[in-house]
Chain A
Amino acid sequence: MNRLGDTTHALQTRNSATFSFDFARQAQVEKLWVECRSLQLAVRDAEALSEYYEMFLAPVQRARTKLSTLPFQYSGMEMGIQSTIELLASNAQSLDDFNAIRVIVERTLTLLEKLIHERENPINEKLLQALEEGAVVVVKDSFWVSPLTSHLEKSCDFPLRVIQFKRLLDEEISHKMVYLGSPFYFSSRYRSEPDTRFLLDPKSALNHFILYPFGKSPDVDGLIDSSAISRSVRYSLPFGSMPEMEMEALRSEWEVISASAEPSNSETEIMEMARFVGLANGHHMWMSARPDSRCRVVVVSSEGVLELESRQTSELHEGELIVERIGRSSPILIDSVADGLGALRLRASQSHWKDALKQRIEETGNLKAVQRSLSNEYGVDVQNLRHWVYDPRSIAPNSKSDFLGTCRYLGLIDSAESLWTDLQAIRKLHLKAGGVILARLRSAVLALSGDDLVKSGGMSSIHIEDCGALGVFRVEYVEETAVLIPISMIDVVAKNDEAL
């Protein structure tokens, strides 16, 4: 389509758009809505608000949101009902028998236990009925894009796509969009004005919602007062009056995983600022947020060829493709490639010096005492001592005098010159390895095709000499704020199942 046609199409679509609503019905899920509301009020009345919120309300709200918006089997891993039952039952033990919260939680547990044995999820049936070739399924939480794509691939023999609500902005106009949830659910933003752009100017002429009948439809106003473009998206509730849903702080599944990362209290673990990144195909990682940290992004050039771009990690956006190593068992790329270039035979010198420092710290009892001795008696700048000892990415001090100072302290002065020569050689090989990695990755990425990446469901494996298992992943979610994370967890792709 030409550019004039783009605007014509956008106007025609918004002017002719229709909205249809298909109400799901499942007795336990409907009751869960009622219990969730009661629990919300009980937690509000309790004194330890934030504690009870985390222990009871957040897990129940999370279960209710999944049960009301996802088509997976109730007994499946995706719904996580069994783990929710175990968590709530365990947390409820901390409350008195007659505590109002405990009473509601126990009623909720009964509902969930019944639900797990139900075979049919009505959302699935309604979704399959609504789908047709070229339809786009819209979910609010990007976490579900990959699992839902896989689920629908098994049930539908025609092409369709699953997208996150937030990505509607960049979406082309399509024939039909099926929303999993109510207009209220999609439009609500905690402590912000509702986002009704998808109702005011839909990206599809046919907009179908599969929903439980809670939450009234939002008002859809234009940008300019009393303009004629305001829209009324109304539906009548088919099952009589239902309790209203309140605006609540719903967490994305990504936030649940990132919140589960435990900070380390160990003196030997180096912590660094990192940002949580959700990846397609059931993966996630912590990406270094140091100002000099870079990631490798696969981009499509103007000629339609895939290219590799080195980018500051703060410049990474959702929807882009990145190359990362898979799993903690995969070697650190730079070490591995440098070893292949000749660093392997020098590693003994590196280990010899590092192990001697580590042993001295253990003998002395604490790091601070070693820092004091090195600084006061040997004139060593000890600012990076923890990194020299515990950070596998650190080779040795940059300054030769600091290195010789540590050797005098460790009783290694006789071999200090030869150790320094080896460590400098490793440093040079690491620099060389940086260029080699980029070249190897570039040729591996060039061998991929854009079509393969699209068909791969957001993840393709690549194998490169000395680099272990690598994957090209679509970025589904990037957390805005960075937090302190142990470096052993940074830049390693992990599976969501393990974290959840």
Chain B
Amino acid sequence: MPAWAEFVYGFGRWLATEPLETEKWHVLTFPGTRMVSGMLAAGFASARFESLDFYSRESIETLSDGDQITWLDSHSQLSHGTFGQLTISELDPPKNKFSYVCSRRGAMSRYTEYFDKYRFSRFDGAPFVHARPLSRNFNFLDAFAPGRVIDLTTQSKNEICLVGDQEIRNDLLAQELSCEGTIGCLDDILRVKDLDDVRESPHHLSLYVNPASRSLLEVEADFTVYDGSRAVSRQRNYVNSFTSVVVLNRWDIHAREVLSSLKSFRTRSRGSSVKLAPTLSLPKGIEYMGWSIN
């Protein structure tokens, strides 16, 4: 990877390891910003993938009658249905069972030992009938996060929020990354909800917000990247996040104005400076500013 990409990827990884105790803001400016936001988010995701808390699924006891679920079928694709109930056996040794309704095949039941084997998981997306792939590019993600790919892709999380214009969507779908001999795109790692309706896996990790969106619903995420001045000026008040990074292209005519507004926000909220981790060295031509709000 080029030096700038190593830096932003490492920067994203560093942010993922910072304690989520205070709201933190970071600004990076570049002479061109293609792929920057996506690489940052991928760095953040990669550090999270290494945490057991992050990829372990909910236990069966947390599910209730009627909850939407997914599970792996015999072809390693995801099926959809609703949970029924857990029946505790009185036998010794116990052979507990749970019931569920498959959207395609109707009422079913299984022994609980299959709950983990087939990765039964809570689902909060739109119902579907035909089986869906785990990931559009399973081999790439498997090479990127070996041993964890099935658990990562059988559950949804609003972990990362990406706010930006159409170009950021093009960045996410560009097949320009390689890992262990496989080729992939940033969306294979970030699994952005509703980015593409072709072969998209149902479980997402990231959200995408269009700067022009007028939705009054607030978005929650652990980590948010605002790509461009329009993204941060339009959506800053509608996204709640512990860690926010603003990526600005210095050719953007509104970049100075937005930076000035962010500086005022920092002063008003009595933000204190955040220094880059000692392991990170800012490449020539990139600017950085960071602050935390206590």
Contact A2 B250 (CB under 8 A): no
Q: Which of A4-12, A243-251, A473-481 is near enough to bind chain B?
A: A4-12
Q: Do A3 and B176 form a contact, CB below 8 Å, given A11-B31, A169-B253?
A: yes
Bound form: Cα–Cα A193–B256 in Å: 11
Chain B contacts of A227 at CB under 8 A? 287-288
Partner pick for B286 among A11, A13, A169, A197, CB 8 A cutoff = A11
- B30 and A7 form a contact (CB under 8 A): yes
A2 near B176 (CB under 8 angstroms)?
A: yes
List B residues 14-38 near A (Cβ within 8 Å): 27, 29-36
- Judge whether B4 and A7 touch: CB under 8 Å: yes
Q: Which residues of chain A are near B31, meaning CB under 8 Å?
A: 10-11, 13-14, 200-201
Question: B170 contacts the other chain (Cβ, under 8 Å)?
Answer: yes
Decide: A224 and B35 in contact? CB cutoff 8 A.
no
Tell me which residues across on chain B come within 8 A of A9, comparing CB atoms. 32
Given the interface pairs A4-B35, A4-B176, A200-B250, the reply to whether A223 lies near B29 with Cβ below 8 Å is: yes
- Chain B residue contacts of A200, Cβ below 8 A: 31, 250
Does B171 reach chain A (CB closer than 8 Å)? yes
In the complex, per-residue mask of B237-273: 1 if CB is within 8 Å of any chain A CB, else 0: 0000000000010110101100100000000000000
- Residues of chain B within 8 A (CB-CB) of A6 are 32, 34-35
Q: Does A228 contact B (CB under 8 A)?
A: yes
Contacts of A229 in B (CB 8 A): 285-287
B32 adjacent to A10 (CB under 8 Å): yes
Which residue in chain A gives the minimum CB-CB distance to B38? A3
Chain A residues whose CB sits within 8 angstroms of the CB of B285 once the complex forms:
11, 14-15, 229
Whether the Cβ atoms of B30 and A11 lie closer than 8 Å is yes
Tell me which residues across on chain B come within 8 A of A222, comparing CB atoms: 29, 250, 287
For the complex formed, measure the closest distance between the CB of A3 and the CB atoms of chain B, giving whole angstroms.
4
Contact of A7 with B287 at beta-carbon distance under 8 Å, contacts A2-B176, A169-B253, A224-B27 already known:
no
* Smallest CB separation, A43 vs chain B (Å): 32
State the CA gap A3–B4 with chains docked (Å): 13
CB distance from B67 to the nearest CB of A (A): 40
Nearest B residue (CB) for A193: B256
Q: Is the CB of A3 within 8 A of B287?
A: no
Binding site for B on A (CB under 8 A): 2-4, 6-11, 13-15, 168-169, 193, 197, 200-201, 222-224, 227-229
For this complex, 17 residue pairs linking A to B, each with C-beta atoms less than 8 Å apart, are A2-B174, A3-B34, A3-B171, A4-B1, A4-B2, A4-B5, A7-B2, A7-B5, A13-B31, A15-B284, A169-B253, A197-B251, A200-B31, A201-B250, A222-B29, A224-B29, A224-B259
